[in-house]
Copies of this chain bind each other. A is one copy, B any other.
């Protein structure tokens, strides 16, 4: 043993809380908490700036358990440190329905969990976002914000592609206050890592401009020295901690048998013997618990000092800081948007909605300092940069624009980290088709319920010649399918402004704005103080008489709906048009509004240059759908819309055929 008795006891407290909780739940992953207990002990008792009684103070160090399956490690150290949400009863209730101690760590379940982890590789990318957030806030607030971000990542996290995107970005940005512990246990579920990988991880991180350190992951003093050394680097640091998975289990340690199942009654007993742990399940000897709690109290001193700093701030600055931490928008936000809408009503510009988005952002970024923009190397196409957003660079974090590189997945996960960090509203873009690359992180934005705004341009076959690899057809449906995710598809410059307003005001729901490459006329002719897009769907044009046809459409196809409606009206067929910028918000309306809006016109038609899935909600099984029934094709936009039959003429013909 490299550690002294106290060090071992502290770590064993983590091990046995984990072992016993997993045993009781008859479900869970003991291997990681047992293997990484020494690392967690060093970090939590000697380094982490945290306050168990006030887990959310803004200048705390962040700790992300990227290997989320090892959730009992986190619950154990939180219980031992004195976090109030993690009682011994919660530990005993691990993985039961309604427990705060869910199978994987979930944001908002426990005050002090920084992010939801489990899908591998996400946590390390979230942490890169947090470490970036720290630098951005430091540039704005000086030493009020100045701390470290720590990560515990497993082999799985490092094998996932997102980790490469995240570490290359972090190395490029010189995020030297980011310290990653690699739980280097050389085991994955299928067996030894060497059956699927021979990567020299330290060399790989060094190639990405990281500092690396190798230590014995069961030598607490060595771990402490490595952390001290990491703090002197001008680069982010990977600490490779060689550990034994399931450390202490006589028959399962060092094998994949320790990974994902309870050890079993007998093996638990033998592990108690081998580690000299005599306590009953869920009982931590008083002296050990005292040592842990004392460490928690000591760590809290930093928070107390920081409170004084905050109190010393100019009252107005302090109010502003506190507003940011609450995630509230500036008080004049709505009036700024309304002034802008008035101007649009006067100007009636014909622009692509991606350009309309940039116009809205120009107004928003002028009024809301906390927006931080970006793009996955499509800045000019996504129209995400405005006059206020200078580049954020490794030398200067005072800007407001991030070049994420060609890294859609990490971009989304880094935005999650920025949003979780606090004081920042991240938005960034790629092509809608490539939302697929970002999808696992977009799902987590939704599951965590955080404000992240995805600017997804080139939203249909309307992008033209790039062809089916770049033309989304299923993406609107597949994003609408994600719970707690607002998918906006505005039809013109006014709706685009309204959708941005809604996205910014949705503090607990991420948003995707699907935007066109092609120009669109202003359809909302008159200024309306109400945000009509907030209804999800609304009547854009009435019928001249009792409607025989209702046409529902979103985005660029609303223009087609309007043309078809006018033609049908000319033919004496009363026709109304319903614009549907957001399915999800429509579902939030009262039943009576929904029923009335869908209406009773005998012919219901939906138009969207995408697949039908989801539209039956509006038009029923017998409704007519004008849209895509296959992948797209390469060609100029007009040829494509004609080829796929998405034209006013096709709508008119379909209506007449049905009447």
Contacts and interface: CB of A to CB of B under 8 A. Distances in A.
A477 B196 contact: no
Contacts of A437: 119, 160, 440
A447 interface: yes
B28 A465 contact: yes
Nearest to A200: B207
Contacts of A219: none
Contact of A95 (B27, B380, B465): B465
Contacts of A613: 477, 480-481, 613-614
A383 to B, nearest CB: 13
A192 to B, nearest CB: 10
A391 to B, nearest CB: 7
A209 B198 CA distance: 7
A288 interface: no
Contact of A620 (B404, B478, B621, B631): B621
Contacts of A614: 613-614
A25 B634 CA distance: 11
Contact of A474 (B391, B408, B482): B482
A600 interface: no
Contact of A204 (B96, B155, B198, B207): B207
A104 B196 contact: no
A102 interface: yes
A61 to B, nearest CB: 24
A469 interface: yes
A165 interface: yes
A114 interface: no
Interface in A160-201: 160-165, 168-169, 171-172, 188-191, 195-201
A188 B95 contact: no
Interface string A608-641: 0001011011001100000001110111100110
A482 B406 CA distance: 24
A163 B188 CA distance: 21
Interface string A483-524: 110000000000000000000000000000000000000000
Interface of A: 25, 27-28, 68, 95-99, 102-104, 106, 116-120, 155-156, 159-165, 168-169, 171-172, 188-191, 195-201, 203-204, 206-209, 375, 377-381, 391, 393, 403-410, 433-434, 436-437, 439-440, 443-444, 446-447, 464-470, 473-474, 477-478, 480-484, 611, 613-614, 616-617, 620-621, 629-631, 633-636, 639-640, 643
Query: Which 8 residue pairs spanning A and B have beta carbons closest together?
Result: A161-B161, A97-B635, A196-B405, A164-B164, A118-B469, A203-B207, A616-B616, A478-B478
6 contacts: A156-B406, A160-B161, A203-B206, A439-B439, A474-B482, A481-B481
